[in-house]
Structure 1
Amino acid sequence: MNKNRTAISKQRLLEEANIIIRAHEDYLHGMVTTDVRQNGDILVFSGEFFLDAQGLPTAKSTAVFNMFKYLATYFSDKYFLEN
C-alpha cells in the first residue's frame, strides 16, 4: 500500500467517488455512495443496497457491493480521511 497518501475531506471524497460510480461500466441507476469511513488504511464506502420488500439482497445488491469494494481499492491507496 502506498504510504504517500493525501488527506481528503469526507465530502470531497464522496463527490469524487460518485463521479467514478456514474462513469463506471457497471453503473446501475440509483447507485450512489452516501458515506465513507476510515478503517485502518482502508476507506469503507456505503450507501443503498437495493434490498427487496423482505429486506433481502437483490441482484443489484451484488453490483453495489462490488462497486463499493472497487472504490475502496481505488481510493485507499491515494487518500486518507481528514479528522
Structure 2
Amino acid sequence: MNQTQGIDRASLLSEANDMIAEHELAFPGLIATDVEQNGDVLVFRGDYFLDEQGLPTARSTQVFNVFKFLATTLSARYHLEE
C-alpha cells in the first residue's frame, strides 16, 4: 500500500497553484480555489471558464487537463488532513 503524507488544505492549494503556474497549459486566471479528498484521489476545483450558456470552452478543456494532472501527481504524495 502506498503511504501518503498528510497536508492541510491551504498548503496543498499553495503547492497546486505553484505547479499550475509552471504547467505548459496554464493561462492567466487559472487557479485551484478548493480541493477535497474523494477516496484516495484529491479533487481540485476552480473556475472552468464556461461560456454564457454554461457550456465548456477551449479553456475548460485546459482547466480539466491541468486539474487532472494535479490530481494524479498530488494524490500519489498527499492526503488531506481535516
Any gaps of 5 or more consecutive residues in structure 2? none
1:81 matched residue in structure 2? 80
Return the offset for 1:53: 1.1
2:6 matched residue in structure 1? 7
Please give the alpha-carbon distance, in whole angstroms, between the structure 1 residues aligned to 2:41 and 2:52: 32
Any gaps of 5 or more consecutive residues in structure 1? none
TM-score (norm 2): 0.96
Q: Which amino acid aligns with 1:62?
A: T
2:38 is aligned with 1:39: yes
Please give the alpha-carbon distance, in whole angstroms, between the structure 2 residues aligned to 1:3 and 1:41: 10
Stretches of 4+ aligned residues off by more than 3 angstroms: none
1:59 matched residue in structure 2? 58
Please give the alpha-carbon distance, in whole angstroms, between the structure 2 residues aligned to 1:47 and 1:59: 16
Q: What RMSD, in angstroms, separates the aligned Cα atoms of the two structures?
A: 0.9
Q: Which amino acid aligns with 1:71?
A: L
SS in 1 for 2:33: strand
Please give the alpha-carbon distance, in whole angstroms, between the structure 1 residues aligned to 2:42 and 2:70: 8
Please give the alpha-carbon distance, in whole angstroms, between the structure 2 residues aligned to 1:36 and 1:80: 11
1:21 matched residue in structure 2? 20
1:30 matched residue in structure 2? 29
**Percent pairwise identity:** 54
TM-score (norm 1): 0.95
The count of aligned residue pairs is 82
